[in-house]
């Protein structure tokens, strides 16, 4: 699998207006040997495409700016998407590729409003992405028998396929310095994915998510700077499940729904001079309450919970 690309990016300022433009050309070549296990015959594939983006940023004054982009993108199917034909035992599934897949192309539109002052920063953004030949994997009604006679196993078949699709969504972020020692922030995001050919939800679209947090810290003039923070992450229930068209039965869903959940995170750190060196110690606890939950995008969600309380410590110094 080899590829090559050439690209150019330009920024052209006109006072309060800036024009951003980019153009890229790609060529890909794939060569596959025959493989009886994968039911694969020897073959080669070539793909050539161009991508581009045109954007505009307008400074409105008083810390406000608006931005917009229109772009065309390209992606060739991966080897797994094309030729998979076997079990993924760690994920309790059997994946089957589709050698007839063709490259994706997309047309994306996005716009945003930004605001920044000495102590407040915020942004609201939205996008719409129309994708031709969108490649995705979906659970089916089929099962494959694997293992041995003494230890048989049955794995659900996940099939790679493609369709016309539309994705749209929005993002919101806001942060503020409440005092010289305290800051707060929040952000939220939502993505809606639709299989336009089947008029069904796309699989593996993340549910709505929101995060809010606060941080306490020393001022820049203090000798031993430290910080401590709390963060709450809330994730909604995912109700939009992809469905598979079963002949004679209509659309059936084999995806795994997940309930909403809330996670608490704690962070902290300190910098100090010890033995003539500057040391930085940072600690982070995720899921501090040890909540039980399943992330919709986790491929193990059918048979395992996500990680419980986790502590990460990082120590850095100058040499």
Report which of 208, 214, 209 is spatially closest to residue 175, judged by C-alpha positions.
214
Tokens of 209: 């998510």
Span 147-169, pLDDT tens digits: 766 666 788 899 999 999 999 99
Span 256-283, pLDDT tens digits: 889 999 999 999 999 888 878 888 999 9
Are the C-beta atoms of 247 and 279 separated by less than 8 Å? no
DSSP-derived pairing of the beta strands 93-96 and 85-88: antiparallel
pLDDT of residue 150: 67
Q: Hey, how many other C-beta atoms are within 10 angstroms of the C-beta on 259?
A: 12
Helix residue ranges per DSSP H, 93-185: none
* Residue 207 CA, distance from chain mean position: 12
Span 163-214, pLDDT tens digits: 999 999 999 999 999 998 999 999 999 999 999 999 999 998 999 999 999 9
Percentage of the residues of the chain whose pLDDT score is greater than 70: 97
pLDDT of residue 148: 66
Instruction: Work out the pLDDT band at 105, boundaries 50, 70, 90.
Output: very high
Beta strands in 178-288 (DSSP E): 182-195, 200-201, 209-217, 226-235, 244-246, 250-252, 261-274, 277-286
Q: Which residues, 6+ apart, have CB-to-CB distance to 305 below 8 Å?
A: 292, 293, 294
Percentage of the residues of the chain whose pLDDT score is greater than 90: 60
DSSP state for residue 84 in the 8-state scheme = -
Span 209-261, pLDDT tens digits: 999 999 999 876 777 789 999 999 999 999 899 887 777 888 888 888 899 99
Q: Examine the pLDDT at 77 and tell me if it is beyond 70.
A: yes
DSSP-derived pairing of the beta strands 104-116 and 120-147: antiparallel
The per-residue b/e assignment along 126-149, b for 16 or more CB within 10 angstroms, e otherwise, is ebebbbebbbbbbbbeeebeeeee
Span 112-153, pLDDT tens digits: 999 999 899 999 999 999 999 999 998 888 888 877 666 667
Tokens of 16: 């309060």
Are the C-beta atoms of 170 and 125 separated by less than 8 Å? yes
Measured distance CA(279)–CA(258) in Å, rounded: 42
pLDDT of residue 258: 92
């Amino acid at each position: 699998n080899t590829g090559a690309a050439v690209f150019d990016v330009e920024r052209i300022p006109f006072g309060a207006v800036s024009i951003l433009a980019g153009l890229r050309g790609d060529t890909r070549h794939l060569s596959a040997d025959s493989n009886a296990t994968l039911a694969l015959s020897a073959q080669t594939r070539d793909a050539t495409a161009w991508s581009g983006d045109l954007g505009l940023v307008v400074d409105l004054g008083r810390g406000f700016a608006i931005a917009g982009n229109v772009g065309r993108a390209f992606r060739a199917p991966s080897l797994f998407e094309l030729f998979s034909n076997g079990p993924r035992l760690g994920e309790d599934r059997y994946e089957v590729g589709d050698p007839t897949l063709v490259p994706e192309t997309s047309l994306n539109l996005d716009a945003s409003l930004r605001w920044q002052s000495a102590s407040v920063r915020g942004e609201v953004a939205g996008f719409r992405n129309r994708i031709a030949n969108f490649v995705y994997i979906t659970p089916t009604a089929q099962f494959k028998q694997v293992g041995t006679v003494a230890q048989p196993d049955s794995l659900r078949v996940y099939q790679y396929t493609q369709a016309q699709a539309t994705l749209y969504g929005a993002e919101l972020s806001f942060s503020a310095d409440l005092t010289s020692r305290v800051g707060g922030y929040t952000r939220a995001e939502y993505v809606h994915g639709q299989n336009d050919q089947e008029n069904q939800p796309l699989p593996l679209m993340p549910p709505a998510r929101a995060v809010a947090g606060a941080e306490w810290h020393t001022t820049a003039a203090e000798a031993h700077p430290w910080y401590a923070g709390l963060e709450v992450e809330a994730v909604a229930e995912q109700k939009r499940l992809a469905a598979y068209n079963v002949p004679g039965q209509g659309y059936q869903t084999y995806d795994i729904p997940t309930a909403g959940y809330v996670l608490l995170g704690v962070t902290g750190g300190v910098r100090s001079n010890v033995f003539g060196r500057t040391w930085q110690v940072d600690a982070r606890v995720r899921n501090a309450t040890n909540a039980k939950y399943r992330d919709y995008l986790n491929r193990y969600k059918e048979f395992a919970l996500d990680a419980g309380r986790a502590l990460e410590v990082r120590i850095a110094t100058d040499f």
